[in-house]
Chain A
Amino acid sequence: MTALSSNMLIPLMVIIPIICALLLNLFNGKDKFVKIIAIITVIFLPLIPLFTNYGLHFFGGHVPLIDNGALLGTLPASIQSSIVAFYHPAITYSFSSLQKLFVFVLGLVAFSVVLTSLSESEKFDGAYGFLMFMGIAAVSALILSDDIFHMYVFFEIAALAQTGIVLASSIKNNYETALKYMMLSSLAAPFLLLGIALILGIVGSINITDIVLAINQTFIDPLGPVVLLALAFITFGWLYGSGLPPFHTIKSKVYSKAMPSGAALLQAFSVITFVAFALAILRIFGHIYITQYLIMGFSIVAMIFGVTLALVQEDFKRVIGFLAVGELGYIGIGLALGTAMGVAGGLFQALNEMIITALLFIGFGTILYKTRISNINELGGLLAENPKISIVVLLAGFAMAGVPPLNGFRSKLMLMQSSVNAGYPELGVLMVVLSIVTFVIFVKLFYNIYLRPKPKNIPIVDLKIPKATIFAMVLLAIACIVIGLYPDIVVEPLVQFSIGMI
């Protein structure tokens, strides 16, 4: 297979879930057919990045002018010698070790989520499947795209898909939460678009590589007021998309108002949105020293609020929601450190978080499946109901708290070492403190749900946990253990990417 034909696989990571989404919507009601399409697609999703070569994909085949000598020769000399000759006229997808890992893990999470969703519902709703696959396509495009306006478009699609997933759940007050989320989107998204428009206005391109080139060659004033305002506005949009403060409350609420399997997917969307936009911000505005401090500051606040507010919640879905927001902070700190090891550690943490939080949502989702209760004060003694599942849930909790030798331990240790090496030992101490508290939260959750005496009035539904759900959980748990025991399979490609980026 030639490099060119392999690169044609790059857009398929977005196109296939979109086609699947459209088919699911089209054939909504034909239950068996819809299930078959969904299963085939989620089997292929993690496989595509494994068979794709690294490289670029130019939509429409429009390569930069500098690579198209025949066309460039026909243009005026003033264009041939200008920066415009280096610009990318096409929407460009970039596929490297980073994208390979993220799309693969997204595929793994999507596989687990769709499997769980199919098995736990009597009839799979095609419209719900449409929303899930549109979300998957949107975040895949976010991580692949080198075009910031293209990222904005898929950012909006992801936000709509997330709202739809909440609306499609049958949880009390889900409509109110979805409406609040959309209204906050109408506040944040226009500022993101305005930031992008400001950059387009001064650079003349929305390709991130072109923008970086224009800044490096001082084609524009790198510290000009327009650039600074663009940084503020794009950062604000990023805060909303990722669920960092001040949007942490609504994001955790969104997770708690989706079905557990849906929430597992939503958190993966948030992590990828976080990483894609944080990397774009660092690439474009990395020359402004305050950028790193901004990312670091919001990440620290997210960690503190995420963990402390998780402690005082009584709904286990909300607890995991707040913890998921808090874990984003670790990723941000790694990226903000700006060292190769720090960036790699942050990205490693992002991958681990996607797996661990998905496992937690699906695992605790089995409690909801059996009891229809999510308030931990009303639960207890469920260890006897299904001891094997409780062990997997405990393992996920340990992984999130950073207990060795699981994957969360590896990434958090890497981040702590990076922060000390970068001259911020306080961050290392903060991470240790918050990891200990995360452990405390899990002990509390596990005790309240599984270990304490069973309340007399718990209504346990006479349904067995579907084997597909157990399989999905075991798959994610194996990923936690394997990455924990052999972290180099993930860390080495990420370090290579980080060195290249810095």
Chain B
Amino acid sequence: MGYYEKLLDLIRGIKDENEELSSSAVTSILTAELTLLVSILICLIMLRHLNLILMVVAVFFFLVIIITSMPLMIKVKNEQSDSFDRMSFHAIIALALLVIVVYWGVRFA
């Protein structure tokens, strides 16, 4: 199955049965997918400011994720839904990461 067909199936999966699948919706998700990939790649390249080897490893790791898990955008959209459970989960994870990065990042850097 080609990538485009796979994408269509996934989009159908997240839409209501009665809802029409327009070409505009498909192209929007495709554009968002490419934007997401390009943006993450650019951000990973920024890791060169911290450590060059870390950057290479991160980019390689990301390429593996792309090959195995594409399309990412549908997963991102599902994850960033309006569910309160997910919102509060993300908030708590963010708080934990903030404390870890700031407290231990600065003290032991």
Task: Say how far A308's CB is from chain B's closest CB, in angstroms.
Answer: 4
Chain B, residue nearest A289 (CB)? B106
Is A184's CB under 8 angstroms from B31's CB? no
Is B87's CB under 8 angstroms from A245's CB? no
Chain A residue contacts of B99, Cβ below 8 A: 229, 232
- Which one of B25, B35, B80, B98 contacts A294 once the chains associate, using CB atoms below 8 Å? B98
- Which A residues from 276 to 320 make CB contacts under 8 A with B? 288-290, 294, 300, 303-305, 307-309, 311-312, 314
- Which B residues from 63 to 86 make CB contacts under 8 A with A? 73, 76-77, 80-82, 84
Chain A residue contacts of B35, Cβ below 8 A: 304, 307-308, 311, 433-434, 437
- Which one of B32, B43, B77, B94 contacts A430 once the chains associate, using CB atoms below 8 Å? B43
A180 with B84: in contact, given A245-B94, A288-B106, A290-B106 (CB under 8 Å)? Answer: yes
Say which size band chain B's interface belongs to: 35 or more
Is A187's CB under 8 angstroms from B42's CB? no
Classify the interface of chain B: helix, strand, loop or mixed.
helix
- Could you tell me the distance between the alpha carbons of A312 and B4 in the complex, rounded to whole angstroms? 17
Chain B residue contacts of A229, Cβ below 8 A: 99, 102-103
Chain B residue contacts of A187, Cβ below 8 A: 88, 91-92
Chain A, residue nearest B48 (CB)? A426
Chain B residue contacts of A228, Cβ below 8 A: 102-103, 106-107
Chain A residue contacts of B31, Cβ below 8 A: 311, 437, 440
Task: Say how far B28's CB is from chain A's closest CB, in angstroms.
Answer: 5
A98 on interface, CB distance cutoff 8 Å: no
- Could you tell me the distance between the alpha carbons of A191 and B109 in the complex, rounded to whole angstroms? 25
Is B84's CB under 8 angstroms from A235's CB? no
- Could you tell me the distance between the alpha carbons of A155 and B3 in the complex, rounded to whole angstroms? 47
5 A–B contacts, CB within 8 A, in A order: A223-B107, A311-B32, A424-B46, A433-B35, A440-B31
**Considering the complex of A and B, which 4 residue pairs feature the smallest CB-CB distances, nearest first?**
A246-B90, A311-B32, A232-B102, A308-B32
- List 19 other contacts, CB 8 Å, given A248-B80, A288-B102, A311-B29: A228-B107, A232-B95, A236-B94, A245-B94, A246-B91, A246-B93, A249-B80, A304-B36, A308-B36, A309-B80, A312-B28, A312-B29, A314-B25, A377-B20, A426-B43, A426-B45, A430-B43, A434-B39, A444-B28
